[in-house]
Structure 1
Amino acid sequence: MIHNELTIDDFLSRFQMLRPRSRTPTRNLRQAAVLIPIVRRPTPGLLLTQRSPRLRKHAGQVAFPGGAVDASDASLVDAALREAREEVGIPSQRVEIVGVLPAVDSVSGFQVTPVVGIIPPDLHYHACEDEVASVFEMPLQEALRLGRYHPLDIKRRDGDRRVWLSWYQHYMVWGMTAGIIRELALQIGIR
């Protein structure tokens, strides 16, 4: 549990000093990346999107900006930055990349690499209406509080799967997004 207010410097020193927890190897081969945008404020925020209800997959879900790697992307980091620029208008040159988390498998068949980046507080977001219904910020300290995430075990043909879920305001944060946030909290030693 965090007793003092988490600052951006606290977050960065914890993130950069601690090695990622070992993960189960991923099975999916198609590559994707998401940007975990941390807003540099005295009280840092975590930028999230709610996907458009018109999308074919994961409609209406809370997510990080991100998507599949294109042939034009030089790296997974470039893919995450491109997607953040396309989806919410975050200029790539305004993102300070601080590292990556271990890749996770998505239910849609992608191996997703979370890229952690710090963004300035003065950005004006421009949501791509075809992909993003809304952009919102959650206090980072609240996002990293492990007690807010509740397990849900789902039985599928390909085996049992545990997903995590939580609420923030009127948004339900669950699935891969909640799992990534929870892993970030575990990596930086937040209990």
Structure 2
Amino acid sequence: MSADYTLDEFITRFMLQQPAPARPPRAVRQAAVLLPVVCRPAPTLLLTRRADTLRKHAGQVAFPGGSADPDDRSLIFTALREAHEEVGIPPEAVQVLGQLGPVESSTGFQVTPVVGLVSPDIVLQPNADEVAEVFEMPLQEALRLSRYTPLDIERRGIRHRIYLSWYQQQFVWGMTAGIIRELSQHVARPEDGYSMNSSPLAS
């Protein structure tokens, strides 16, 4: 992502590009996460660090989100509901731009990333039972493709590629890093020097 990449250009390129075709779903359960872009003069990407007491993915950096309820009208509704429950972002305060292609998690969910804009004036109210910390990462830095280091692992006899990255004291890896990397490729410009066609994400 080039130094002069503005929020307006990010929005324009996101809206112009079509998401990559989804892989045939193997997961039965559906989930969604919200990728909140905070509209500061230098925009940021809001992330959480999950509570250390959670049964799954404890202490990991993540986007607010979770599994779909039977009553959810859509996966966008799921992402907004979960973001409200986890960090206190009102659903009506999110300007949804669209979705990225779904990815499969290691826990058997098909997860749909939803990209939305939020105001920097929103007062966050993290749910202490689920969220240990909320932090913002400069969008410029988050979408710098070179910050994500690939690592090939084997899980249940199947080889997966995951991505690892640090931001300050935060370790960003797995599905979260893969989603950010996918977003970076989704809005890439030809002069950024890499293809819009991404490799499959691993969780």
Inter-partner Cα distance in structure 1 for 2:176 and 2:108: 15
Match in the other structure for 1:15: 14
Q: Deviations over 1:8-48 (max 9, x none)?
A: 11110010011223343331110000000000111110000
Deviation at 1:156, TM superposition (A): 1.8
Question: Could you tell which deviates more after superposition, 150-159 or 31-40?
Answer: 150-159
TM-score normalised by structure 2 residue count: 0.91
Question: Could you tell which deviates more after superposition, 18-27 or 155-164?
Answer: 18-27
Match in the other structure for 2:143: 144
Corresponding residue pairs, total? 190
Q: Are 1:28 and 2:2 counterparts?
A: no
Q: Deviations over 1:139-170 (max 9, x none)?
A: 00100000000001111224011000100010
Which letter does structure 2 place at the counterpart of 1:2?
Answer: S
Match in the other structure for 1:86: 85
Match in the other structure for 2:49: 50
What is the SS of the residue equivalent to 1:47? Answer: strand
Inter-partner Cα distance in structure 2 for 1:133 and 1:147: 28
Paired residues of 2:31 and 2:109 also in contact (CA < 8 A): yes
Match in the other structure for 2:72: 73
Inter-partner Cα distance in structure 2 for 1:113 and 1:119: 19
Q: How does 1:1-191 map to 2 (within 5 A)?
A: 1-4=1-4, 6-189=5-188, 191=192
Deviation at 1:3, TM superposition (A): 3.5
Which letter does structure 2 place at the counterpart of 1:123?
Answer: I
Which letter does structure 2 place at the counterpart of 1:157?
Answer: R
Runs of 4+ off more than 6 Å: none
Q: Deviations over 1:63-116 (max 9, x none)?
A: 000000012211101100000000000000000001000000000000000000
Give me the identity figure in percent.
58
Which letter does structure 2 place at the counterpart of 1:30?
Answer: R
Which letter does structure 2 place at the counterpart of 1:182?
Answer: R
Paired residues of 2:3 and 2:140 also in contact (CA < 8 A): no
